[in-house]
Amino acid sequence: MLKSFKKKSTKSKIAIIALAVIILALLVYVLYEQFKPEKPVSYEMAEASYGSITDSLDVSGTVKSGYSHNYIAIKGVVAESVKVSVGDEVKKGDLIATFNVSGASQYLANAKKDYDSALNDYNKALSAVKNASESKSKNETAIKNKKAEIAAKEKEIAELEKQLESSNSQIAQTKIPEEQIKAIADSMRNNGATEEEIEAFIASASSVTVPTAPENSALYQTVIQKNLELSQLNAQLTSLQAEGSLYIDTDNDSYTETLKNVADSKKKTYESIKSVYDELKNGWYADKDGIITKVNVKPGENFAPVQENSAAFDLGSLFGNSQYSNILSSLIGSSDDAQIGTGVTLDSYDDLIVSISVGKDDLIKINTGMKASVTSLDKSYEGEIIYVAASADEQSGLDVGSIAGSLLNGSGSSGGALVEVKIKNPDKNVVIGFDADVKISLKTLDNVLKVPVESVLYDNGSYYVFVYDSQTGKVKKQPVEHGILDDTHYQVISGVNEGDLLIKSPDPLMTDGTKVEQKKA
């Protein structure tokens, strides 16, 4: 083969040598690729460092107006003009509607009549109590004097009976003759005594017994006479006591207090209706910049109230924080018998809030005044917690409408506790009735050790990270105890030290001792 190679031309020899070199190079490359060591995977690293971290709560809620004014109309009024429609924007002072109130005047007159009647009943009761107090005092004095007369008469009779017994050797008891009792009863009747008093006398006299003695004995007759007088006194005492039981108990104020409460309630009803009536008479004007969200009045038509619902009706908005809300609530029934109702609703876009519901674990972390971030239609706004319910079934001290709705419809919501967030400087991207995302800043810790959230993995009830050793190029699986977290970092209580390099986004299948490389920035 060597002789054959030598016989070949120089050009052929060069070609053969080049081919051999190529084949050898390919062989070396295949062997290298087959047996070369595996290159470590490169990862982005993060350093454990000290800084601030804020715990937050992310929830969603519904946007509503923090100021909603319901213009209340009385059944029977006629709208002469209606200047707004649903969706219209109005400025403070703009005319909303005008009315002919003649159809509601009788309703106002009836309310005034009811109040006057209740007030008259109360005043009569006060007078009756005063008179009863005077009469009761006189009655108590008469009873006291009558009891003293009876005691003196009983003492006199006892002394007479003792004399009678000592003068008569044969002691026996006998009753007062019926003819004498009848004669006294007839005399009492002729002198104007009541039948009850006469019956009481007869019963008392008939039960009296006296020691026996000759009927013509002056002492015997005196004893009988005194016993008849005692029976009359007892009958008069019984009559006085019966009379006293009929007097009003002036020491108990419940009687007049009840009538006073009725009069006060009728007064508030009248005043609330009059306020509604006067507002209708003067016309409705926007009391704030806002948007019209409900119109239930039509020009030239009698107003017919419709049954309100919890989401829309807010009696408190009529008078602000008014004492008349309950009175107005009592006037609202079904759509068939309601006497008042909402004619127009004006919602302010300067006072928008987000109503959210939170669980018991989060409720204890939230207080009024806390800062929040509100996101609506991909735009963020500053917010502040303005209301936190005391319990899960509490609606809201700011939402009288929801309370009125629960009274009207017999239903209410429960579950999470209500929290309200006021949106600062809202614009058209915040729409009433739409959902919005809320982030509440619960607690901020300064100068704490923290690591990126993506560096922390969870497995079998524990959290861990992979710490990179730059000397060996290997990682160590390290359990950690964490505290609060925000969008980007965990607070680390134990497990890593400041300056430790961590795998920022480790492979969940990574194991302790894996060799890695730090990705170049």
> Model confidence over 186-238: pLDDT tens digits?
777 787 777 777 777 787 777 777 666 555 567 777 877 877 777 778 887 78
Mean pLDDT of the region 341-361: 88
Cα separation of 186 and 34, whole Å?
145
Check residue 317 and give its pLDDT: 43
pLDDT band at 108 (very low <50, low <70, confident <90, very high): confident
Question: What's the farthest any 2 CA atoms get from each other in the chain?
Answer: 197
CB of 295 closer than 8 Å to CB of 87: no
Task: Reply yes or no on whether the pLDDT at 326 is more than 60.
Answer: no
CB of 363 closer than 8 Å to CB of 390: no
Task: Reply yes or no on whether the pLDDT at 308 is more than 60.
Answer: no
Angle of helix 178-190 relative to helix 218-245, nearest 10 degrees?
50
Check residue 392 and give its pLDDT: 66
Cα separation of 435 and 427, whole Å?
15
Q: What is the Cβ-side half-sphere exposure of residue 358, based on CA atoms within 13 angstroms?
A: 27
Q: Which of 279, 317, 282, 291 is nearest to 91 (CA)?
A: 291
Strands 462-469 and 379-388: unpaired
Cα separation of 333 and 409, whole Å?
10
Amino acid at residue number 170 = Q
Task: Reply yes or no on whether the pLDDT at 467 is more than 80.
Answer: yes
Task: Reply yes or no on whether the pLDDT at 318 is more than 70.
Answer: no
Amino acid at residue number 117 = S
pLDDT band at 313 (very low <50, low <70, confident <90, very high): very low
Structure tokens at 418: 């209500």
Check residue 31 and give its pLDDT: 59
49: left (phi over 0), alpha (psi -120 to 50) or beta: beta
Cα Rg of the chain (Å, integer): 50
Q: What are the DSSP E strand ranges found in 94-236?
A: 95-100, 173-175, 209-211
3-state secondary structure of 486: coil
Structure tokens at 386: 């303005």
Task: Reply yes or no on whether the pLDDT at 387 is more than 80.
Answer: yes
Structure tokens at 73: 């109309």
Angle of helix 218-245 relative to helix 195-206, nearest 10 degrees?
140
Domain ranges for the chain, please list them: 42-53+444-518, 113-245
Strands 340-347 and 49-65: unpaired
Q: Please name every residue paired with 475 in a beta bridge, in sequence order, or none if there are none.
A: 468
Cα separation of 80 and 301, whole Å?
8
Cα separation of 461 and 456, whole Å?
13
Cα separation of 46 and 107, whole Å?
77
Q: Where are the alpha helices (DSSP H) in 283-324?
A: 316-319
> Model confidence over 15-44: pLDDT tens digits?
666 776 677 767 666 655 565 556 778 899
Check residue 257 and give its pLDDT: 84
Strands 516-518 and 41-43: parallel
Structure tokens at 489: 């970092």
Task: Reply yes or no on whether the pLDDT at 481 is more than 90.
Answer: yes
Element (H, E) at 480: strand 474-485
Cα separation of 16 and 101, whole Å?
119
Q: What is the Cβ-side half-sphere exposure of residue 493, based on CA atoms within 13 angstroms?
A: 6
Q: Which residues contact 220 (CB under 8 A, 6 or more apart)?
A: 164, 210, 213, 214
Check residue 296 and give its pLDDT: 93
What global pTM score does this model have?
A: 0.49
The overall average pLDDT reported for the chain is 79
> Model confidence over 395-413: pLDDT tens digits?
443 333 333 333 333 333 4
Give, in order, the Cα–Cα distances in Å from 422 to each of 64, 288, 352, 401. 10, 18, 6, 18
Give, in order, the Cα–Cα distances in Å from 514 to each of 354, 470, 497, 510. 50, 12, 21, 7
Q: What is the Cβ-side half-sphere exposure of residue 35, based on CA atoms within 13 angstroms?
A: 6
User: Which fold, 42-53+444-518?
Assistant: 2.40.420
Cα separation of 374 and 351, whole Å?
14
Structure tokens at 446: 């300064």
pLDDT band at 247 (very low <50, low <70, confident <90, very high): low
